[in-house]
Amino acid sequence: MNVDAGPGRSSLRSLEIFEAFRAARRPLSLSELARITDIPVSTCHGVMRSLEQLGYLYVVSGRDVYPTRRLWELADDLRANDPVAQRLEPALAALRDETDETVILGTRQGDAVLYLLVLEGRQSIRYSSRAGELKPLHSSSIGKVLLAGLEPAQLELWLDTHPLPRVTPNTQTNARRLRADLRAGLERGWQATRGENVADVMAIAAPLRTGATGLGVAIAGPMHRMQPAEARLGTRLLQCVRQLEDADVR
């Protein structure tokens, strides 16, 4: 999670420490943490000591430390009371179980899609991701849903002021073609990416109009499974979001 040095860096250093443990999957020493996070040793030492004093790290042996279960318990409490995911997760989990593909709930954060919930399919070859990941608007299926939901003038302004970087060889990098692709998705009922964010992954997504937050729900999986089943999966996706919207109205 390295970020540029600046006013916000100090507030993220504790999170960078935990990200380092997640990546390493083992206890780490001060020097290892400083190297992995690119935090100066003296600063890293201070962050470590603060986390130890708060009960988030413990000494395993010698110079190595590891997170305690306190962070896990904190995260579990937060997850259990998430106002959006808590309400939507049962229906999205049922969609995951029925399609056996990964189901994602996302929203817009700045010029990116923020994944709020990722329910991975159970097949050995599947699309994998994590809640909290950010994806480009123009190359992700939920991003296309959010772009297609803009007023025409807003969409034109966004296209005029934002580059469309190539993520894979299949990414739409031409504004005219992306605009046409969004129109086709609106006519079809769902937006689709075909290897545009991850080369061998296809995803379809639809808007979820519930509450004040703009949301999108996606089904994602390997291209060879998704393409032949697109119509069936798209129909089931639309049924799911409509059921959620109807439940919200009631």
Q: pLDDT digit string (tens) for 208-228?
A: 987 767 899 999 999 999 999
Question: What is the C-alpha to C-alpha distance for residues 58 and 72, in angstroms, rounded to an integer?
Answer: 14
Question: What is the C-alpha to C-alpha distance for residues 155 and 147, in angstroms, rounded to an integer?
Answer: 7
120 neighbors 127 (Cβ within 8 angstroms): yes
Residue where the block lists tokens 């937050």: 213
User: Cα 242 to chain center, whole Å?
Assistant: 22
**Number of residues in the chain:** 250
Q: What is the pLDDT of residue 71?
A: 85
141 neighbors 193 (Cβ within 8 angstroms): yes
Tens-place pLDDT, residues 27-70: 999 999 999 999 999 999 999 999 998 999 999 988 899 999 99
Tens-place pLDDT, residues 127-166: 999 888 999 999 999 999 999 999 999 999 999 999 999 9
Question: What is the C-alpha to C-alpha distance for residues 162 and 58, in angstroms, rounded to an integer?
Answer: 46
Q: Given pLDDT bands bounded at 50, 70 and 90, which one contains residue 10?
A: low
Number of Cβ within 10 Å of residue 215's Cβ equals 23
Best CA proximity match to 149, nearest among 115, 105, 185, 123: 185
pLDDT surpassing 90 at residue 5: no
89 neighbors 117 (Cβ within 8 angstroms): yes
Q: For residue 220, give the amino acid letter.
A: A
Q: What is the pLDDT of residue 241?
A: 95
> At CA 231, angle to CA 227 and CA 234, rounded to 5?
100
Question: What is the C-alpha to C-alpha distance for residues 234 and 239, in angstroms, rounded to an integer?
Answer: 9
Question: What is the C-alpha to C-alpha distance for residues 169 and 158, in angstroms, rounded to an integer?
Answer: 22
pTM above threshold 0.75? yes
12 neighbors 1 (Cβ within 8 angstroms): yes
206 strand-pairing partners: 217
Q: What is the pLDDT of residue 135?
A: 96
Question: What is the C-alpha to C-alpha distance for residues 220 and 115, in angstroms, rounded to an integer?
Answer: 13
The angle that helices 141-148 and 175-188 make with each other, rounded to 10 degrees, is 90
Q: What is the DSSP letter of 126?
A: -
Question: What is the C-alpha to C-alpha distance for residues 246 and 76, in angstroms, rounded to an integer?
Answer: 29
Number of Cβ within 10 Å of residue 22's Cβ equals 10
